[in-house]
Amino acid sequence: MLTNGIEPRIPTDMQNEPKGVYLFKSYEDMEDAVTNWLGDRYEDEDELVVLKINASGLTLKSTVDYEVMSPSKIPPENIIGYEDL
């Protein structure tokens, strides 16, 4: 449940990455990732949901040109919507 926000974590297959909440900079970047590499982590029958985040007040660090990372929890009030893929 997202009523407590989103906690930073490290994906099990990326233990060398810093703990954080990783966010795509655009919808197109997210689609590209899911279509080309991130989607390999999920089965075809898995349901994926895109969370829309209001970045106001968040400390975001740029990691690569297509994503940013929040080293801190994203509070529930910054989760402003969602969309099924």
**Could you list the pLDDT tens digit for every one of the 85 residues in the chain?**
578 999 998 877 777 888 899 899 999 998 898 888 777 777 777 787 889 999 999 999 987 899 999 999 999 999 999 888 7
Contact assessment for residue 79 and residue 21, using Cβ atoms and an 8 Å cutoff: no
Single pTM value for the model: 0.79
- DSSP bridge partners of 82: 51
Please tell me the total count of domains within the chain. Answer: 1
The domain that contains 48 carries what CATH number? 3.20.170
Q: Which domain holds residue 69?
A: 2-10+17-84
Give the E-state strand segments of the chain in sequence order: 21-24, 49-53, 61-64, 67-70, 79-84
